[in-house]
Structure formats: structure tokens, C-alpha cells
Structure 1
Amino acid sequence: MIPPKPRARPDRVSLWRYLKLFRADILSAQPARLYRAWMAEFRTPFFRSYLLNQPDLVRLVLKERPRDFPKSDRISEGLRPLLGQSVFLTNGAQWERQRRIIDPAFEGGRLRETWPAMWAAAEAARHRLSARAGEVVEIEEVASHVAADVIFRTLFSIPIEDAVAQEVFTEFRAYQRTQPIVNLAAFVPLPDWMPRFFRRDTRAAARRIRALIRQLTAERAQAIADGTAPDDLATKIMTTPDPETGQRFSSEEMVDQVAIFFLAGHETSASALAWALYLLALFPDWQHKVAREAEALQQGDFAEMARLRVSRDVFRETLRLYPPVPMMVRETACPEHLRARDIPKGAQMVISPWHLHRHVRLWEQPDSFDPARWGTENGRTCARDAFIPFSAGARVCPGAGFAMIEGPLLLSLLLRDLRVSCVAGQVPEPVAHLTVRARSGIHLHVARRGTA
């Protein structure tokens, strides 16, 4: 049984047809040949774009020469009303300074300290889902709720039920519905002075979210000044000086960073968790293995994380098949020559986890769900050369370690006492919004484990 993936478009379509498909859904706009190509070129009247699947080219761009391939602002331009000058969008010295301040909060020792908050959010989600046993549940909504709860508990030490947290969550869902997949700047180079034509409701939702985040950060700044702030991620980041300049984030910079923490930590985690639950509903034998392994989880001790080997492999396989961020775009800072092609300065270098993770010349049975592959020689090789759900190199997501604890834990606790199964006739279709989601949601039947 092959899990669903988008239907590829024909190899040749008009530019206008391609742009229309691309704006509707990045994934289904791509031809099937990209799943076997090492490099592919696409030209528009305004710029050239190159998809890179060859592992040594991906390594060159992300790990070996990242400064020569800075992040392109074409795809991310549409996120600026919400994210401002966050670490997700910046380049150069500004980005390096931001990472020097942020990275210490996500070091290994700090992750242990977030475990109790993750556990509490997972238990709360398990109780909420248990109350709906016997129902068909839209599981993306459940995943979004618990992922947001994890972020608020670990970042600000408040549960999702907190009034401000609930308001941010509600506003963010509104923002998701108004945010176009790509902005006009993705196709047409616009000068800095020209308006970006964001939708009015998109701008309004971003303003409301930023106002709420500004309130949270201002309250935390006052608590830090009073000596009453909890020792969570927000306090750690707000009190960490840049080791080179001694400067801390300003109030507005902190709003930018919290916005991306919420987007990256909530939206991507929710996407991965929802698809993981669907895959386990589709493959009940693997669901049973996860549930059996989770029976040993009792104490809420970080040491228990080492026991979640099956859940971790299931989560990794989910990230392979449904990487939350399906494409990353870099830009050439100087002319390049790759695979006998002369590439001009300013060309768009697209690295697509979606295609790389399913590449037929790299992976054995790339479209199949097989968590056991991570113990094979092919799986270990591809894990090193062709698995980048969190990017790689200098710009690897600082929360990658956080996500690889959160995902398996949530999956295990939710399925320890509950069972999910597919609903006849409802097969989710993956599409790329802010992350890889299902076009019409993921509907699963929820039952208490041990019941019919």
C-alpha cells in the first residue's frame, strides 16, 4: 500500500499554466521527472531556477559554501508581515548575530529542561482526544492544538488555555487561511520601494498576532527585571547576549523571533504529527508497535525518551514522506558552473526535501512507508546524504532536536491508550500551504485501545 502523494503535472505546460499551478499548490505543479533528475532547470522571463537533487550539490549549497548561496527572499517574501526580520528571513551578519543568541537556548542540556512541559501538553492532548473516543476526528486540528500548547508551555510557561495564548492560536489559524502560498515577488523581481500587494486580511491578521506577541514579550521583560521570570526558552533567549557584541535582542527583534518560533515550532510540528497519525492509521501493525512501546511510559522522565525507538523511526519516516517544509530556496551570490551548466548570479537554487526524500535513484521503494528502512544500509546512507527535513549545515533549524523529542513523545502518549483508523473514502491529498497539509483535512476514527 502506497501512502498518498500529489499527482504530478505533465512534463510540458505553458509558463502561464505552470505559474497558475504553482500558486495553487507547489507540489502538484511539478513534473514526475523531478523524482529522478539530479538537476533540473526552469526559466521565466525574470529569473532562472534550478532544482538540485544530487547529494553533493545539496551538500555544496547547504554545508560547504552557504555564504555563496544565501537564502532567497522570493518564496519567503509573503511571510514578512508576520515575521519581520526574524532569523528565518535574514542573511549575512544579521542572521549570524541572531543565531549566536538563539542557539544556546536549544542546546542538548536545555532540551532536557523542556521535557516536563512537553509531557504536560501531551497528557492534556491525550485527555482531550480520549473524550472524543468513538468519533471521527479532524486530526490536523488536534495536532495544531497540541503543537501550539507545546510551544506556549516551553516558550512562555503558559498552557494553550491561557487567554492570550488561545487568542494567538486563533489568530494564527486565521492567518493560515489568508496567507497565499507565494507572493508576486516569487515570480517578478520587485524593487524595494514597490508595495508587495499583501491581502488586507493577511496584513490585519499579522498585525494582531504581532500585537499579542508584543504583549507577551513585554510582560516577560518586566518579569525578568523583577527577578520573577520562569527559566524557560523565552527567558533564556531574552537574557542571552551576543557573545561578540554583548547586545541582547531589542523588544521588536524579540517579537520577530517569537513569531518564527511559533510558525516553525507549531506549524511544522502539527503537520508532521497529523501525517504520522494518518500513516499509523493506514498501517495498523506499526501503530500496534508504537502503542506497545509506549506502555512503558509512566514517569514523565526524560530518560524514557531513549525507549521510544519505534516511535522515533515512525516519526523520521513521516518526515521523509511528508516533510513539513517541502522546498527551500537559495540564491547564487556569484556565477556558478554546476553539472556542465553556467548559472548566473541571482539564480534561484531550489532544494526540495519533498523530491529528495522520494528520489528513485537514492531510496529503495521511495514512496513506501517503511520505518524499518532506517536500520538498513540504504537507509543509513540516505539519512546522511538525502534526508534534510530541518535543512542542513549552518542554517539547520535550531529546533531540530526539540522536534525530534516532541514528535515521538506526542505520538507515543496519544496512541498508548487510543487507536486511530482510516475513514472509508476519505484519503487525504497533500498540498503545500505554509507547510505540507491535507487539502480537505485528515479525518480519522478514534477509539479507546482494546475496544472494537
Structure 2
Amino acid sequence: MRPPKPPSRPDRVSLWRYGRLFRKDILSAQPARLYRAWMAEFRTPFFRSFLINQPDLLQIVLRERPDDFPKSNRISEGLRPLLGNSVFLSNHETWKRQRRIIDPAFEGGRLRDTFPAMQAAAEAAAARLRQSGQEPVDIEPLASHMAADVIFRTLFSIPIEHETAAQVYRLFRDYQRSQPILNLAAFVPLPRWMPRFFSRRTRQTAKEIRALITDLTSARMAQIEAGTAPDDLATKIMITADPATGERFSTEEMVDQVAIFFLAGHETSASALAWALYLLAISPDWQDRVAAEAQDWGEGTFSQMSWLRLSRDVFREALRLYPPVPMMVREAQCTEQFRNREVPKGAQIVMSPWHLHRHERLWDRPDDFDPDRWHTDNGRSCQRSAYMPFSAGARVCPGAGFAMVEGPLLLSTLLRDVRVEPVLDREPVPVAHLTVRAKDGIWLRVSRRQD
């Protein structure tokens, strides 16, 4: 099954036109040749950027020598007002310390502890979806609501209906529509004196979100000191000491981390879930198979998640076709040689799941929706070398395991009782805001599934 056509792919664009297209939407700005290229260079009067799709080069940057290619400071220019010095933006020893404290909270045994809260959010979402009626609904806000509910229940033991949670969710909705995941300066580097592309409103919204998260974090600190804190992810992270130094996160540091947990756990999951539902809406045979699997599973346990094989394959395929974070940027710390071409110190290294996952020289039928591909030789090979919805190597998202439990669980729970169908003449067009979303929403018809 072929999903909607990807954004238009111009063959060649001038730097000026590229900049204009990039400001509008980074996906439609990408020329067709990048879906075939192993490496591409973008020169400006100031310095150079290199997009790499070649698997062995990705291996060097992400797995073999990550310290030589830290996160580019330019990517932080638009996100730091919200994320501060969180694990998503930090580098070197600061980042390593943060991961030593955060990673234990997302180990397999800890995920088992969060599963009941995740399952409660899934059932609440299914109940809301059953009440949608026959009129077309934009599934994106519903997916965002579901994912936000999961995060608040697992992180702070509060549902989305909680007053503070509801305010944070509302403000994040405003923020994600106004702020692209990549500043133009990250992909086409600009001199420092040129203005950056985020508004005063974006900064103000980030400030309001951080103030609300500070209230939640301070209250949890007080509960920990009083011995009354619930045993959720926030508590686990806040009481974990760095094994190297014995230090814990301060309240301000924890606010930074909660901001990225909510962004990564809410925005990215919502994006993937909405696209997965759309892909199943236009693939009714696959939808029926997922629904039958979900009905057989019922309300299974964490140890039975491996039974949701079809749902997991569909979710992985949605992450391939519509990776929530379409591009990542690193910076070369010294002069390199990639494909017999000099990559100077300070050059921006752009790694693009959006291009890599649809690369014509790597994947069989790269633009087709085919969850069965994960059980073919090509699919297994590409999963190892050309699939990175959560990044890869040392900087792989600490919540990747969390997401791969949450996504299939939500998908199965929703489709157990309802059927989704596409709406005529409302084919979604993917664009990049904070994550890959649809330009005018993803509109589906929802009906009760008859046994």
C-alpha cells in the first residue's frame, strides 16, 4: 500500500529558493536527488553543511566517535528557551552526567512499573474515541491528548485532566505549531549577527510552560523530602544520584529534563500515532488484522506485550515513513575526510531520518506502507543500518523503549473497538513543526467496530 505522495521534491534549487522553501517547510524544500545521494554538500558564504545518508558514515558519527561529533549549538538556538540545558541539547561531560542519572528510570524493570499508568491512559483514550460520532475528526489533537495523558500519568501520576497538566498541554500545542524542530541556521548556517526565526510569542510560551513545570517539580521535591512521593518516573529520576559524583538533579536541572521528557514523549509519540492511524485507515486489511490481534490480546500485561507483533510492525513502519524528528545536526570537532571530500572543522553534519528511511538505494519500495518488510532480508538489514527514528549510538533517545511499548499499546487499544476510515479529498500533507505533522490535520471517520 502506497501512502500519500511525499512532499514535492524539486530537482534543483538555488540557495535563495532553498532558504525560502526551508522557512515554509523543511520537508518540501528537499530536492529529489537527496533521496538517492550518499552525501550532499551545502555551501554558504560562511561555512558548510553536509547531509549524510551512507550507513558507514552514520556509523562513524553516531556510534564509533560520537564525542568528535557533538550536538550542534545551532540547533539549540530555537529550542533553548524551552529546553534549557536538557539532555537533548547538552554535550560532553554535562550530557554524560545527565544520562547516568536518567537512564536507570527507563530500564526494562522500571518500564514494567509504569505500565499500569500507560494502560489506564490507553483505556481512557479508547473511551474518548468511541464517543467521536460519525462526523470526520482531526485525529492529531486526539493523538496529542492521548500521548500527553500517558506522559503525565507515568511521570507525575496525574491525568491530563489535572489543572496544571491541562495548562501545560494547551501551551505545548501553541508552541509546537510556532517553532520548527530545526532553525534555518542549523541546516543552512547563517552568520551570528543575522536574526533567528522564532517569535516573541514562542519565547513567552516557553517561559509559561517552564513556570508550570517548575511548580510540579518543586511540589514533587517537597513530597520526596516528606516521604509521601508516588513511585513514578519523576520520583525515580529525582532520587537517583550520579554514580560518578553522588550528585542529584537540582530543581532547575529537573525542569530542563521534564521539558524534554514531555516534548519527546508527547510530541513524538503523538506524531507517530496519528500517522499510524492514518496508514491503517487507508489500509483496511492491515487495520482488520491489528484489530483482531488486539481483541485476542484483550487487556494483557507488560510481559505479554510481545504478543502485539502486528501492532508493533505497523508502528515501526509509521516511524519509518513519518519519523517524528526528521533531521538531526552534529558539528565536526576536527577536519574529516568523508567520501574523499574534506569536511572542515565546524562543519554541520546533518543526519536525516526523513531521507534515510525513504532512500531509494537502501530500501525496497521505500515510499510504500508495508509492515511485513520487517521480516524480510532487506527490512532486517535496513533496520540495523538505515533506521533511526530515535537516533542511534550513545545518544539514542533514553525513552525509545518506552515509546515502543506505548505506541503499539495505544494503537491496539484504540482499534480494538473502533474502525477508522479516510475522509475523501482530505489527504494529509506532512510538514515539520516540532515534529512531522500534517499541514491541515489528519481527518478520519471513526465508527464502532462490529464483531
**Structure 1 length-normalised TM:** 0.97
Aligned counterpart, 2:95: 95
- SS in structure 1 at match of 2:73: coil
Once the 2 structures are TM-superposed, how far is the Cα of residue 195 of structure 1 from its aligned partner? 7.9
Is the CA contact 1:4–1:430 (under 8 Å) kept in the aligned structure 2?
A: no
Which residue in 1 is equivalent to 2:242? 242
Q: Which residue of 2 aligns with 1:324?
A: 324
Residue 421 of structure 1 deviates from its aligned partner by: 0.3
Amino acid in the other structure paired with 1:77: E
Q: Which residue of 2 aligns with 1:389?
A: 389
1:298, 1:133 → 2: CA distance? 24
Contact kept in structure 1, 2:181 and 2:435, CA below 8 Å: no
Residue 351 (structure 1) shift: 0.7
Q: Give the alignment partner of residue 188 of structure 1, picking from 190, 193, 212.
A: 190
The one-character-per-residue Cα deviations of 1:255-303 (angstroms, maximum 9, x if unpaired) are 0000000000000000000000000001000000000000123344212
Offset of residue 190 of structure 1: 1.7
Contact 2:148 / 2:169 at 8 angstroms: preserved in 1? yes
Which residue does the alignment assign to 2:25? Answer: 25
Confirm whether residue 55 of structure 1 aligns to residue 55 of structure 2.
yes
**2:310 corresponds to 1:279:** no
Deviations 1:359-406 (A, max 9, x none): 111111111100001111111111111110000000000000000000
In structure 2, distance between residues paired with 1:5 and 1:77: 32
Question: C-alpha distance in 1, partners of 2:53/2:353?
Answer: 9
Q: Distance in 1 between matches of 2:5 and 2:221?
A: 45
Q: Provide the residue aligned with 1:38 in structure 2.
A: 38
Structure 1 spans left out of the alignment, 5+ residues = none
Asked whether the equivalents of residues 87 and 99 of structure 1 are also in contact (C-alpha less than 8 Å), the reply is: yes
Question: Could you tell me how far apart the structure 2 residues matched to 1:319 and 1:182 are?
Answer: 19
- Amino acid in the other structure paired with 1:251: T
Change (3 A) 1:183 1:317: closer
Q: Figure out how many residues of one structure are paired with residues of the other and give that number.
A: 449
Alignment partners' CA distance in 2, 1:243 and 1:167: 35
Letter of the structure 2 residue corresponding to residue 208 of structure 1:
E
Residues 170-194 of structure 1 deviation map (CA, whole Å, 9 limit, x = unaligned): 1111112332454464331327xx9
Cα drift, residue 2 of structure 1: 1.8
Query: Whole-Å Cα distance in 1 between the matches of residues 135 and 315 of structure 2?
Result: 25
The question of whether the paired residues in 2 share the 8 Å contact of 1:23 and 1:182 is answered with no
Q: 1:27 aligns to what SS in structure 2?
A: coil
CA contact under 8 A between 1:282 and 1:422: conserved in structure 2? yes
Aligned-pair CA distance for 1:208 = 0.6
Q: Which amino acid aligns with 2:145?
A: H
1:133: how far off? 3.1
Q: State the shift of 1:222 in Å.
A: 0.4
Task: Name the structure 1 match of 2:443.
Answer: 443
Superposition RMSD in Å: 1.4
User: Counterparts of 2:197 and 2:59 in 1: how far apart (Å)?
Assistant: 35
Superposition TM-score, scaled by structure 2 size:
0.97
Output the amino acid matched with 1:189.
P
Q: Secondary structure at the match of 1:246?
A: coil
Residues 5, 430 of structure 1: 8 Å contact kept? no
Residue type of the alignment partner of 1:420:
V
- Aligned match of 1:110: 110
Letter in 2 for 1:175: Y
Question: Residues 7 and 173 of structure 1: is their aligned pair in 2 closer, same or farther, counting only changes over 3 Å?
Answer: closer
User: Taking every aligned residue pair, what percent have the same amino acid on both sides?
Assistant: 72
For the residue of structure 1 that corresponds to 2:134, the secondary structure is: coil
In 1, distance between residues paired with 2:411 and 2:287? 10
Segment drifting more, 296-305 vs 383-392: 296-305
Residue-by-residue CA offset, 1:167-222 (whole Å, 9 max, x unaligned) = 1001111112332454464331327xx98574111111011100000000000000
CA distance in 1, matches of 2:156, 2:328: 29
Distance 1:39 1:309, change over 3 A: same
1:255 and 2:242 equivalent? Answer: no
In structure 1, what is the equivalent of residue 82 of structure 2? 82
Counterpart CA distance in 2 for 1:181 and 1:391 is 15
The 1:388–1:189 alpha-carbon spacing in structure 2 relative to 1, beyond 3 Å, is same
Alignment of 1:315-394 (within 5 A): 315-394=315-394
More displaced 10-residue stretch of structure 1: 270-279 or 348-357: 348-357
Cα contact 1:135–1:447 (8 A) shared by 2:
no
Aligned partners of 2:19 and 2:184 also within 8 Å: no
How big is the shift at 1:13? 2.2
AA matched with 2:168 = V
Distance 2:181 2:312 in 1: 30
Q: For residues 34 and 216 of structure 1, do their structure 2 counterparts lie closer, same or farther at Cα, with a shift above 3 Å needed?
A: same
